[in-house]
């Protein structure tokens, strides 16, 4: 669901990778061009709160956390929020479609 929406952002110059290994953990999505990690918050999942969160922040990446329930309701709106965060990061050179 969200993956399909993020793949559309390739048209705007953003290539997301999914299930990326980072320091012994796996992040849900990563956009190297924007330096952005997207983590889906699932009930009972505290992985980010531990070493992964510190590792990501220590390497200068931004993190967007989204609720799994929000993705189920409207993945397009979630993807638009992620796109907005990429724009705010100012790392990528692309225009709004």
Domain regions of the chain by residue span: 2-87
Q: What is the pLDDT of residue 45?
A: 59
Q: Is 22 exposed, middle or buried (0-12, 13-18, 19+ CB in 10 A)?
A: middle
Block mean pLDDT (10 aa), the chain, length 97: 93 92 85 90 63 78 90 95 88 44
Secondary structure element (H or E) that encloses residue 81, with its range: helix 75-89
CATH entry 3.40.960.10 includes domain 2-87: yes
pTM above threshold 0.85? no
Q: Long-range contact list for 51-57, CB < 8 A, 24+ apart?
A: 51/23, 51/24, 51/25, 52/22, 52/23, 52/25, 52/27, 55/22, 55/23, 55/25, 56/22, 56/27
């Amino acid at each position: 669901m969200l993956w399909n929406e993020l793949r559309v952002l390739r048209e705007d110059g953003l290539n997301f990778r999914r299930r990326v290994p980072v320091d012994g953990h796996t992040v849900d999505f990563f956009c190297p061009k924007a330096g952005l990690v997207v983590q889906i918050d699932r009930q009972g999942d505290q992985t980010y709160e531990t070493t992964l969160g510190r590792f990501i922040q220590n390497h200068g990446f931004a993190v967007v956390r989204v609720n799994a329930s929000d993705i189920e309701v409207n993945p397009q709106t979630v993807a638009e929020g992620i796109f907005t965060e990429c724009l705010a990061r100012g790392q990528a050179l692309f225009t709004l479609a």
